[in-house]
Amino acid sequence: MIFKKATISDLKEMQQLYIETIQSVCKNDYNPEQIEAWIYGVKNTDRWVEVIETQFVLLAIIENQIAGFGTLKGGNYIDFFYIHKDFQRQGIAAKLLIELELEAKNQHSKIITSDISITAKPFFEKKGFITKAEQKNIRLNATLINYKMEKEFK
Concatenating the DSSP letter of every residue in 58-97 gives: EEEEETTEEEEEEEEETTTEEEEEEE-GGGTTSSHHHHHH
Residue 72 pLDDT = 98
User: Between 1.10.10.10, 3.40.630.30, 3.40.190.10, 3.30.450.20, what CATH number should domain 2-112 receive?
Assistant: 3.40.630.30
Determine how many CB atoms are found less than 10 A away from the CB of residue 73. Answer: 16
Residue 41 pLDDT = 87
What is the DSSP-derived secondary structure letter of residue 30?
Answer: S
Residues 83, 6: Cα–Cα separation, whole Å: 15
Determine how many CB atoms are found less than 10 A away from the CB of residue 71. Answer: 20
Give pLDDT tens digits for 29-58: 999 999 999 999 899 999 999 999 999 999
What mean pLDDT is predicted for residues 16-39? Answer: 96
Residue 71 pLDDT = 98
Residues 42, 46: Cα–Cα separation, whole Å: 10
Evaluate if residue 154 carries a pLDDT over 80.
Answer: no
The closest of 86, 149, 70 to 117, measured between CA atoms, is 149
Evaluate if residue 24 carries a pLDDT over 80.
Answer: yes
What mean pLDDT is predicted for residues 86-115? Answer: 96
Residue 153 pLDDT = 86
Cβ 135 vs Cβ 147: under 8 Å: yes
Residue 96 pLDDT = 98
What mean pLDDT is predicted for residues 90-110? Answer: 96
* Mean pLDDT (the chain, rounded): 96
* pTM of model > 0.75: yes
How long, in residues, is the chain?
154
